């Protein structure tokens, strides 16, 4: 079943490592919500060109910082989604939230606005690292937001953490993970710090005021993460995502299983099985275009090889792996036979195994996921 992503392009502060699309000037927020509502209406037939409303099983408010929205703005967007789409009664409705935006009153309002999953941007439980990354919250806010969310009634909570931060010792990384395990948080997303061009972090490193990322240290943290998460009962269902008791993120699982999704808002991407479309990454241009009745996107028609390579890359990152049956059904028998043949080399290297007709990365293979995908890509 398809999902909808809503990009809220505003943040309180610019984190030094971030290259997502956002603005720290909130003056256009009301106009932006109006434009997004209009875009939802304009895209109502994105999944199917019929008079029936498409059935949706996940909504994801990402950003940027969606927890900056006033509750009325959030409800307004939800009402518009209900007006043009059929939202499954068990739909997962996630809101990315920063700890500094969450208090018991706001959390109660979010529950009442039908948000049933919170993805909290903790990033670190070590105060100097939060400061170094220019995060707007501190450790005590992070702990309190998790405690409050639980108390108010959120059971589906995910926490984001960053590893591979220069000067982050193995012991510091273990302390971060131990905090998640101690708090018994059901879902964990962990990302290696990457230095994206154009970010403040890239500038500081170039000027020599910050150390560069140490790839070996990051690989060691990733190893520790896999081992310690497994020891504490977490399933690594995607390279960077871990959960307990089958609490997979429905929304992200949809992406990884090549399901269709619609992205609303500046910089959001969509995929309808045939082509990909990307909205302009500029708030003013987005608002202007929508006000003129034009969708502000570019369409990229994918070649068969591009569709195949994308499926391979994302599916290999998951516990379910790349399905032979899916490959044959969607790309043909020749592509399947080629894949079976090329996969032999990685089987012998111990980087993949075949599990019930699916190519799945081994623990060793997860460290080399990008390499394995690239080698299996079709380029002819």
Whole-number Å distance between alpha carbons of 93 and 329: 31
Q: Is 14 in the site for ligand SF4 (CB under 6 A)?
A: yes
Q: CB 11 → ligand SF4: shortest distance, Å?
A: 3
Q: How many helices (H) and strands (E) does the chain have?
A: 15, 15
Pick the closest to residue 12 from 98, 131, 121, 95 (CA basis). Answer: 98
CB count within 10 Å of CB 272 equals: 14
Q: Is 130 in the site for ligand SF4 (CB under 6 A)?
A: no
Give CA 260 to chain center in angstroms.
Answer: 15
Nearer to ligand SF4, 251 or 307 (CB): 251
Q: CB 161 → ligand SF4: shortest distance, Å?
A: 13
Which among 13-21, 110-118, 173-181, 243-251 is the span making contact with ligand SF4, rule CB under 6 A? 13-21
Q: Is 18 in the site for ligand SF4 (CB under 6 A)?
A: yes
Which among 28-36, 58-66, 209-217, 233-241 is the span making contact with ligand SF4, rule CB under 6 A? 58-66
Whole-number Å distance between alpha carbons of 320 and 238: 9
Residue window 72-111: x/- pattern of binding to ligand SF4, with contact defined by CB under 6 A: --------------------------x-------------
Is 236:229 a contact under the CB 8 Å cutoff?
yes
Question: What tokens appear for 322 in the block?
Answer: 């790349």
Per DSSP (E only), the strands in the chain are: 3-8, 55-63, 86-97, 117-123, 157-163, 187-192, 235-238, 241-243, 261-264, 269-271, 275-279, 297-301, 322-323, 352-355, 358-361
Nearer to ligand SF4, 121 or 365 (CB): 121
With tokens 């996921």, the residue in question is 369
> Count residues contacting ligand SF4 (CB under 6 A)?
11
Q: Is 8 in the site for ligand SF4 (CB under 6 A)?
A: no
Q: CB 262 → ligand SF4: shortest distance, Å?
A: 21
Q: Is 20 in the site for ligand SF4 (CB under 6 A)?
A: yes
Map residue 359 onto helix, strand or coil: strand
Contact residue for ligand SF4 among 64, 186, 266, 321 (CB under 6 A): 64
Question: What tokens appear for 173 in the block?
Answer: 């990384």
Is 135:13 a contact under the CB 8 Å cutoff?
yes
With tokens 């964990």, the residue in question is 188
Q: Is 65 in the site for ligand SF4 (CB under 6 A)?
A: yes
Whole-number Å distance between alpha carbons of 65 and 72: 16
Which among 62-70, 260-268, 287-295, 314-322 is the span making contact with ligand SF4, rule CB under 6 A? 62-70
Contact residue for ligand SF4 among 2, 6, 22, 279 (CB under 6 A): 22
DSSP 268-301: -EEE-SSEEEEE-S-HHHHHHHHHTT---EEEEE
Residues 6+ positions from 95 with CB-CB distance below 8 Å: 61, 66, 67, 74, 110, 115, 117, 118, 119
Which among 7-15, 108-116, 314-322, 349-357 is the span making contact with ligand SF4, rule CB under 6 A? 7-15
Contact residue for ligand SF4 among 6, 15, 97, 161 (CB under 6 A): 15
Nearer to ligand SF4, 98 or 253 (CB): 98
Nearer to ligand SF4, 85 or 286 (CB): 286
Contact residue for ligand SF4 among 63, 186, 265, 321 (CB under 6 A): 63
Q: CB 22 → ligand SF4: shortest distance, Å?
A: 5
- Mode of pairing for the β-strands spanning 235-238 and 241-243: antiparallel
Which among 17-25, 144-152, 327-335, 336-344 is the span making contact with ligand SF4, rule CB under 6 A? 17-25
Q: CB 266 → ligand SF4: shortest distance, Å?
A: 13
Q: CB 286 → ligand SF4: shortest distance, Å?
A: 17
Q: Is 11 in the site for ligand SF4 (CB under 6 A)?
A: yes
Whole-number Å distance between alpha carbons of 32 and 73: 10
Q: Which residues bind ligand SF4 (CB under 6 A)?
A: 11, 14-15, 18, 20, 22, 63-65, 98, 121
């Amino acid at each position: 079943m398809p999902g909808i992503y809503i990009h809220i392009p505003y943040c309180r502060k610019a984190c030094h490592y971030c290259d997502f699309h956002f603005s720290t000037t909130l003056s256009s927020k009301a106009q932006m919500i109006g434009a997004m509502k209009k875009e939802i209406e304009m895209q109502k037939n994105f999944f199917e060109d019929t008079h029936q409303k498409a059935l949706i099983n996940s909504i994801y408010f990402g950003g940027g910082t969606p927890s900056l929205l006033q509750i009325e703005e959030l409800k307004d967007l939800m009402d518009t989604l209900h007006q043009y789409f059929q939202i499954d009664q068990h739909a997962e409705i996630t809101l990315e939230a920063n700890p500094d935006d969450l208090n018991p009153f706001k959390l109660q309002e979010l529950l009442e606005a039908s948000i049933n999953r919170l993805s909290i941007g903790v990033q670190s439980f070590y105060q100097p690292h939060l400061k170094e990354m220019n995060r707007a919250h501190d450790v005590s806010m992070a702990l309190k937001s998790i405690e409050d969310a639980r108390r108010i009634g959120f059971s589906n909570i995910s926490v984001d953490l960053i590893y591979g931060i220069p000067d982050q010792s193995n012991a510091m990384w273990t302390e971060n993970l131990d905090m998640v395990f101690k708090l018994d948080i059901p879902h964990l997303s962990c990302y290696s710090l990457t230095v994206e061009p154009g970010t403040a972090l890239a500038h500081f490193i170039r000027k020599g005021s910050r150390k560069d990322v140490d790839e070996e240290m990051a690989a060691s943290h990733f190893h520790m993460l896999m081992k310690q998460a497994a020891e504490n009962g977490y399933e690594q269902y995607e390279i960077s995502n871990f959960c307990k008791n089958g609490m997979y993120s429905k929304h992200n699982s949809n992406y990884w299983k090549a399901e269709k999704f619609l992205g609303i808002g500046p910089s959001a991407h969509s995929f309808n099985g045939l082509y990909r479309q990307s909205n302009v990454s500029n708030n003013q241009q987005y608002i202007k275009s929508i006000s003129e009745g034009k969708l502000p996107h570019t369409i990229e028609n994918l070649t068969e090889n591009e569709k195949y390579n994308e499926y391979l890359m994302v599916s290999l990152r998951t516990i379910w792996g790349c399905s032979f049956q899916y490959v044959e059904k969607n790309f043909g028998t020749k592509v399947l036979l080629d894949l079976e043949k090329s996969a032999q080399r990685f089987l012998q290297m111990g980087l993949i195994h075949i599990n019930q007709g699916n190519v799945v990365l081994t623990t060793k293979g997860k460290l080399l996921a990008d390499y394995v995908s690239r080698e299996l890509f079709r380029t002819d």
